[in-house]
Structure 1
Amino acid sequence: MMLGLGWGELIVILVIVIAIFGAGRLAGLGSALGGSIREFKNAVKDDDAAPTTTTETKAERESKV
């Protein structure tokens, strides 16, 4: 079964969500979601830019001795 949502259904859902939460609270949720996504992207970018470190295995440490 396929769920196809048209414009009419999306508008009805939007009106119900606004009626339940209120426009001010939805704006705050959108702002918080945008900030979270921005922080995630920055963390991923910083992690990619960080130099990679290698970890020695026990066998490699023992072979040096």
Structure 2
Amino acid sequence: MLSNIGVPGLILILILALVIFGPNKLPELGRAVGSTLKEFKKATKELVDDTGKEVIEAEQVIEESTESVKQ
């Protein structure tokens, strides 16, 4: 969807943002979007890490239970 915008579309969006928000608000808006993306990326990474830890723990439990069955 965003790959179809192109350079002229981006320029139009930037001009509209400048007209709507003004030159004083654009840096604040950019910082807010940047911090939001940073928090989203951090939360996603934590979720993936937690899931990975749970998978490793589950594999260990399965390994232990198969070893006890073999004995």
Please give the range of the TM-score, normalised by the shorter of the 2 chains. Answer: 0.5 to 0.7
TM-score normalised over the length of structure 2: 0.49
Unaligned runs of 5+ in 2: 55-71
Unaligned runs of 5+ in 1: 55-65
Identical counterparts, % of pairs: 36
Shift of 1:6: 7.2
Q: Which residue of 2 aligns with 1:59?
A: none
Between Structure 1 and Structure 2, the one with more helix by share is 2
Check 1:30–1:48 CA distance in 2 against 1; reply closer, same or farther (3 A cut).
same
Question: Between Structure 1 and Structure 2, how many residues are aligned?
Answer: 51
Check 1:49–1:19 CA distance in 2 against 1; reply closer, same or farther (3 A cut).
same
Q: Which residue of 1 aligns with 2:21?
A: 21
Check 1:51–1:19 CA distance in 2 against 1; reply closer, same or farther (3 A cut).
closer
TM-score normalised over the length of structure 1: 0.52
